[in-house]
Amino acid sequence: MKSGKILAVLCVAALAGCATSQAPAPAAAPTAPSKPARTAQQIQMDELIDDAKAHAVLKKHAPAIADHPQLSMARGMTLADVAGYAQAGLSPETVQAIVDDINKL
């Protein structure tokens, strides 16, 4: 009977060893904090003029504005400010498309 108890103890020890020798579950990869979405009131024309990627977004949705020789006069204004001028010809849908693409950058 003694050998039966020893065998039982060895089995339990072996099973316990198996349970603890497993690799721990991998930790979740840290995620980069997402930037809060900006609005047309928060997007500066300076960014749309100076940043190549942002300028490409402007050119995609409003090429007449992006290539306008007086675009630099909009420095210091927001996209919403510019959209407020009828001469800009920016529909609410175009402004939203620009905002959406800028927020993806």
91 lies in a domain? yes
CA trace torsion 89, 94, 98, 100 (10° rounding): 160
Q: Residue 45, Cβ neighbours under 10 Å: how many?
A: 21
Tokens 């979405």 correspond to 37
- How many structural domains comprise the chain? 1
Give the domain extent around 57. Answer: 45-104
Tens of pLDDT, residues 47-88: 999 999 999 999 999 999 999 999 999 999 999 999 999 999
76 lies in a domain? yes
- pLDDT of the residue at 35: 79
Query: Global pTM?
Result: 0.68
Alpha helical stretches, state H, the chain: 2-20, 45-50, 52-61, 63-66, 79-83, 92-104
Tens of pLDDT, residues 64-75: 999 999 999 999
Tens of pLDDT, residues 3-37: 555 544 444 444 455 455 555 666 666 666 677 89
Closest CA to 104 of 46, 60, 50: 60
